[in-house]
Structure 1
């Protein structure tokens, strides 16, 4: 496999080109280099895009900016290394040799000299030496604030952490007077205050983002709850519709059964089938004189009155068969208890305001009337239903029990 980097045998540093190896050798006096298949790291910060070439650089970047996410783009930037030394540029105005060819002068390149005190202060603030040197060199090497501003403006430069090189014979201007300790403290305080404000602004921005996210999640939860409630309402409506349809089919089935029974009875009696197109004749109204001269009408027996009372109760609540059946069973329990033990007063006295009694019997049309037909009387300003011991008629109670059993067990009771 072709080499993708040059490795310093003295310190283990990986270099991307021969030029970098030459610069490294000039700065460190290392001379043991070899071709390596180990690629130079290229870790790019996801937040600001700054490239880092080592774990140390990423740690320093995280400490200084707070950015922790890095993308490894080493493979994208990796390419076979060229071992050819870069050709020195030739100036057309340079002197030529006797053969007419321009004389090539390889000028020595060295790191620029910068103010040692300012460099030490920048390193104390967490900046790498190469970056601090570059910042002082390109900012004029005259103030700490100018160097920091240069770093802030050029922190995304690809070569921000590379040591700058200048010709060895370059004249270095004398640095301006160093800051006094008080000025250094003031500048440091200003820089810390600026960093604090920047951090607070970032925290406020993050808090706004989190609040937006909470609001968005809350809206999604409310919308999901609303959709769930709508679906539940639709499901309940569908169930009710299905129950009504089932009830309609049951009534239709009962009606057909009654029609079939009626036709069967006519057949057994030898009568012709009833013509559905023939309307039943309406009996003419009976004059008052004829009513007076007609036979006396037999009064309804107590059993018939009970039956009619139960039929009216079922007709009034025909949409709730369960409630009607529960009312019949409750009445049967009251009547059965009195018939079995007529001497027990607790079975012969019912509080009308009792919630259970009201739910099962009292609130239904005909429930109290049926008990009154059995002999119960309202006492104490209508607060109680009471059956006196002397008025207990077992035959009446038996008739009431028979009517209730018939109403409970006969599926066609109260239909017509």
Structure 2
């Protein structure tokens, strides 16, 4: 059977003529061709009439247009291949219309089918570069009209390569195809232009990446500000909750005192009844308390001891009671600092807010030393369950008090003269 195509031994593509094989070799540097009895596919779209030469082109056309019906006209268009090479073309005529592929004139319009392959922006374009040239030359889609240079075609193609109809065959007026409209660039010049377009596309991509990086940085800054604002609102809400808890505690204490007063009044009335005394008249004047004895006032005002001073006294007493064993005192201070630091860093962890008094390590380092447990109680710890545990309730965790305790412990550890005087 006579050969119907040429097969590239390097990539396996089927070519219809020697001219196509030469164009393929120039575009890909492949040089291993052999005659094949397999015809080049000619699958025509039933919806728009676009011919596709491979299943890959069919898939791409279906993806872009949604057309799924194709008619196989491979054997209708197949004809024996002519292995006689055509004479070389002069410079400036590297692109030409394949006579077998050119559509017949349909009134005023023809379908431009090209065989030249051009590498544009990293993509191997087949025939479309010259179609875009005609599109640019005819003034379609904002083209200049009459500008019949391949440079204009390449520029137009780089700007419209993402158009959904980029792979559709081009219809142009038949009277516009003249000898004057042939490309004027050689293949080498076309490759240089393609390299320039690739460089332009690379720079555009870098600019887009820099712009996206700036946008991401702005988004990170915005998220950071939102997190800081959310943290501030959370702290405000926590502070308001603590204030409300203290108010409720005071009201509860006031109610408890009122109940105790009423109970005392009832007990007093019961005792008077048992003794046979008349009930006390609430309107009767009560004996006034004896005037207080005036004490000699000191010249200096009496200031109540602050919690920090009481903590300092506990630590001073602990060191003075064990002044002969500096290592023991320092270990006790370090243990207390660890307890306070764990609660300050993890106030929601109950294991850091609960200390078993019978623990041997705790008793050896803190519990048996005078002032150790008192210091923890000043920090908010309370004895629970028959004095078995020291426990700090979550709602009684006061970071200001814990920070003060930590400062006093650091001072006691680092100051060599602490507790000496």
Same fold by TM (over 0.5)? no
TM-score by length of 1: 0.42
TM-score under structure 2 length normalisation: 0.41
